Structure 1
Amino acid sequence: MKKYFYVLITVFIANSLFVKSNASTILISSLKELAEYAVQNNNKIKLKSGVYDLRNYLNSDSIAARVEQKKYQYFNFRGNNNHFDLTGVEIIIDTELRELLNYPIHTSEIMVTGYGNILDGLKITCVGNGLSPGGATFEVAGENNTIKNFTIWVQGSYPYGYGDLFGKGGPDVIRHKKQSGFLITGSYTNVIGCKLYMRSFGHGFFIQKDAGNISFEDCYVEGEVRSTDDILKETRGPAYDVNFRTWTPNRESKYVVTPGYMKSLCEDAFRTYGQNKNIRFKNCTAKYTRGGFELRTNGGVYLENCKVIGVERGFWFGNDAVAKKCKGDAIYGPLLFMEGSNANIEIEVAPNESDRKVHALATIQGENNKITLKAAKEQLQYHSLPILVGYTHPEHGEAMSPYGLGKCSHLFFENGTSLPIIISDQASDCVIWTKGTVEDNGLNNIINNTK
């Protein structure tokens, strides 16, 4: 019986692939037609190149009907085994539509809920400052879908211009209305060659609902940054109205915006929530985001040739993480938070220079981690930025907040830079190779100087 079941499944998959590969391409020229084919199966669709204004498709009558039926998505690709060629297509989304639809919190605007689909080549541009209670511009909820060569400009959140200084969803000093970019809740999703430009407070790519077996390749997320000094110059607006009170304390235990730091205005470029298993990243880049790769899942992640540029915190790993040939700077915040155990991490430290306050190159805790930090060929310019072993990340990862102590044991650490290492009394049985100085307050640690 089991063998017969496997044969049926094999035949079904083969037939589906045969139908998809042999279907003739259907040419369409309107968003109305796109919505119609989005709910069908086994089609090859080519939407005519051009700029499409969503407001020409969603008029007042159709919006009223959607609200009554609680159909809040602009498009829902509910069909299966379709290939949508959207090369050369740009959809303009007036963010005022969010307010007209008045959808509930955590609503995604365009969704893929079917399985086995390929969507290729679409550009989505959000314009205006319409707000929602919080959601994502695009979501893949179905399984076995591939999204290729998308470019999404995300806009419309409140307040924008401060990052997470005043909260990020509760507790808040200022109540936020966030807008994120690309949510994945469906397993076996492939994201290839996609770019997100975050001009709102929210995540870039993020994974929820324990979705797993997800692959990112050649993807890019870019935010914007702003100095705390510039924020403190404001004489009106949300920050001024709350006397620049922050939701986390600074290193002097004061809840106030502190000069000298750089803040990203969005959240994390690549983020996991829950126990996401088998998540892979290849040739991906985060620039000017809060976190570059905040991958705290204990299900294991794999990174190859990934890069962070000018982020508040570069790589943040849970258990069983593997990172090979990765690279990043520490101009606006630490390059690495090693929180989990049994990780194998290799990162090249880029030599970029900054006048912003940064308090550590890395913090390392956990058990049985193998970490290699390589120096770039160019000379480092971080002015003795320390590497902290047996320390935790600051509260909520906030750069202005103090670091804590955390247990670290059986670490194998190769420090190819000349930056100093400080080892707390919570670190034991570690083996360290380094070119720089070491302050060892731990127990049974072996220090090897490689000068």
Structure 2
Amino acid sequence: MKKVVVWGVAAAGMLAGWNAKAAPPKPEEQPGFGFQFLENPPMQVIAREPPPPEPVTEDFEVRPGYVLIDSLDEFRQAIQLSGKKIRMKPGIYRAAKTDPPLQFKAKHKNESGELQLLKQDHIFAVNGSNNYFDLRGVVIETPVSLQGTLSRGSHVADSWHINGDNNTFIGGYFRNVLDKPYPDFAATECEFEVCGDGNRFFNCTFVIRGSIPYGYTDFYGKGSSHHGRLNKHSFMSILNANDTSLIGCKVYQQSFGHCLHFHNVDGVTIRDCYLTGALRPTNDIFKERVGRAVDYNFEMMYRKQQPIPRDWIIPLTEDGIRAYNNVRNITVVDTTVERLRGCFQLLCPEGDITLENVTVLECGDFAFDLSVGDNGKVVMKNCKSDVAYNPVFNLTRGDRPKGAFFELTVLSPPEGARATERSGLGIICGDECEFILHDGTTRPLPDSANGLECGGKLGLVDSKITNYTTAKLVLQPNVKNCRIDSVGPVEDHGQGNRVRAIQPPRR
């Protein structure tokens, strides 16, 4: 169900009736504080409100063999050790100091055959290995006031560095606190950077906040200061580290930055997780009185200077799950990814990409862009995506998929969502691939959003499409020798294709 969260002055005004004898609310408890200039009207944001932490109780389990600790000082000592089982007493712990900076030597060679020597600045440095940290009922907060004391050097400061191997984090609630007004703070580059092998997170919740600017997607750049200060804040980078697992985790990405991004990685498993971001109607930007959009006369400046478009829905985050250089063997199972920019952008040089029982909802730019080179395979089995504001497939940026399998059930957008000029099934390509489209809609899609472009700039050759939906398939001239079985109409501009009309299966 779609929820609109309102951040800003009007929402904050609801606090005017609080009891003057009680302690005044903390700044971070005021809606909109730290997200936007409070001189602006409330920002209309389509986002999920993170769940509150579990109530603190004195009745909690300490599993056999675990040592109980009850302070962040003890926790800082424990994360330097190895082979320990630590149970932290339930409660809310706000970090007030940092661990010493490090120079960390990467454990795996990069594409140039080098072991990178990395400068690290952090609030927490987990340097021990083979530990279990039972954090059920524990909330660990990293305020932006503390993050801002760390280095501003590129790729140096992250709130957490996980440098050790085979550590397991169980049940923790990790959240950023915006305890300074927007834009008078600095955030770390990532909340977590994983640099060791075999680290695992079970049933953890992450609330990620704090970036400048916020509210404009990438209209004012993604790596340049030409159009004002840029301070991104992502959830997790996995860097030169293999076999990371996130199981049963929830991530609320409410800052401009990636949710998960990978660099020089072999093996990531994401299972039973929920990753959710934030969207904004562009029409809402025109209500602002101060800020980046006003400064530039409501024009976007990145890539091409032009007026901010009306009637779009834009992501306030970067990508959901993103591969950069030298990444392979990514598995995502039984997971929902929602309201993030490119929900899956996995362009890998080799290895396998496996998505099974994955659902994408209200993607901010596209749902799926998946490819590997000659030494790997893409398998997308029993996956789902709604057709809301942006295209589902965007198979345009990586290598043309070869021998890949794509199975997708098309869902209706949420109630009240209106199609934009970008809505649709998107673009597919491939060589000896199979695409199966199922119809899971509960009401007809608009004709403008009910189409799939086949071929694109990369072509579709010797492949099979089985389309059980009413979507129109447009075969571009570079679609050759393909078999097309379709309920919806087919417009064939290609060569040597065999097109057959079929009936929809019974529901």
Q: What TM bracket, shorter-length normalisation?
A: 0.7 to 0.9
Q: 1:124 — aligned with what?
A: 174
Query: Are positions 1:450 and 2:499 aligned together?
Result: no
C-alpha root-mean-square deviation of aligned residues, in Å? 2.4
* Correspondent of 1:307 among 342, 359, 371: 359
Query: Are positions 1:282 and 2:338 aligned together?
Result: no
Instruction: For 1:321 and 1:306, locate their aligned partners in 2 and report how far apart those are by CA, in whole Å.
Output: 14
Query: Are positions 1:376 and 2:415 aligned together?
Result: no
* Correspondent of 2:345 among 294, 310, 319: 294
Aligned to 2:413, what secondary structure does the other structure show?
A: coil
Q: 2:309 — aligned with what?
A: 258
8 Å Cα contact 1:172/1:247 also seen in 2: no
Deviations 1:398-417 (A, max 9, x none): xxxxxxx3322122111111
Aligned to 2:136, what secondary structure does the other structure show?
A: strand
How far 1:264 sits from its partner (Å)?
A: 1.2
Instruction: For 2:301 and 2:478, locate their aligned partners in 1 and report how far apart those are by CA, in whole Å.
Output: 28
8 Å Cα contact 2:389/2:423 also seen in 1: no
The one-letter amino acid paired with 1:328 is S
Deviations 1:360-407 (A, max 9, x none): 31201232221111101634323352200121xxxxxxxxxxxxx332
Instruction: For 2:274 and 2:223, locate their aligned partners in 1 and report how far apart those are by CA, in whole Å.
Output: 25
The percentage of counterpart residues that share the same residue type is 29
After the TM superposition, which of the residue ranges 432-441 and 301-310 deviates more from structure 2?
A: 432-441
The within-5 A match list for 1:213-224 is: 213-224=267-278
Query: Are positions 1:335 and 2:392 aligned together?
Result: yes
Structure holding more strand per residue: 2
Q: 2:165 — aligned with what?
A: 115
* Correspondent of 2:371 among 315, 318, 329: 318
Instruction: For 1:38 and 1:307, locate their aligned partners in 2 and report how far apart those are by CA, in whole Å.
Output: 35
Q: 2:133 — aligned with what?
A: 84
Instruction: For 2:343 and 2:256, locate their aligned partners in 1 and report how far apart those are by CA, in whole Å.
Output: 15
How far 1:217 sits from its partner (Å)?
A: 0.6
TM-score (norm 2): 0.75
Instruction: For 1:286 and 1:172, locate their aligned partners in 2 and report how far apart those are by CA, in whole Å.
Output: 32
* Correspondent of 1:26 among 58, 67, 75: 67
**Is the alpha carbon distance of 1:387 and 1:108 closer, same or farther for their aligned partners in structure 2, counting shifts above 3 Å?**
same
8 Å Cα contact 1:369/1:410 also seen in 2: yes
The within-5 A match list for 1:46-195 is: 46-55=87-96, 58=97, 72-106=121-155, 107-128=157-178, 131-132=185-186, 135-170=189-224, 173-185=227-239, 186-195=241-250
Aligned to 2:172, what secondary structure does the other structure show?
A: strand
How far 1:420 sits from its partner (Å)?
A: 0.7
Question: Number of aligned pairs?
Answer: 407
8 Å Cα contact 1:384/1:419 also seen in 2: no
How far 1:23 sits from its partner (Å)?
A: 8.5
Aligned to 1:327, what secondary structure does the other structure show?
A: strand
The within-5 A match list for 1:201-212 is: 201-208=256-263, 210-212=264-266
The one-letter amino acid paired with 1:388 is E
Q: Which runs of 4+ in 1 moved over 3 A?
A: 129-134, 170-175
Q: 1:418 — aligned with what?
A: 470
How far 1:229 sits from its partner (Å)?
A: 1.3
Instruction: For 1:233 and 1:267, locate their aligned partners in 2 and report how far apart those are by CA, in whole Å.
Output: 23
Aligned to 2:75, what secondary structure does the other structure show?
A: helix
After the TM superposition, which of the residue ranges 268-277 and 24-33 deviates more from structure 2?
A: 268-277
TM-score (norm 1): 0.84
How far 1:434 sits from its partner (Å)?
A: 0.8
How far 1:73 sits from its partner (Å)?
A: 1.3
How far 1:245 sits from its partner (Å)?
A: 2.6
8 Å Cα contact 2:410/2:441 also seen in 1: no
Extract unaligned runs of 5+ from structure 1. 1-21, 392-404
* Correspondent of 2:485 among 425, 433, 437: 433
Extract unaligned runs of 5+ from structure 2. 1-62, 103-118
How far 1:151 sits from its partner (Å)?
A: 1.0
The one-letter amino acid paired with 1:108 is D
Aligned to 1:87, what secondary structure does the other structure show?
A: coil
How far 1:248 sits from its partner (Å)?
A: 5.8
8 Å Cα contact 1:54/1:94 also seen in 2: yes
**Is the alpha carbon distance of 1:369 and 1:174 closer, same or farther for their aligned partners in structure 2, counting shifts above 3 Å?**
farther
The one-letter amino acid paired with 1:81 is N
* Correspondent of 1:355 among 407, 410, 418: 418
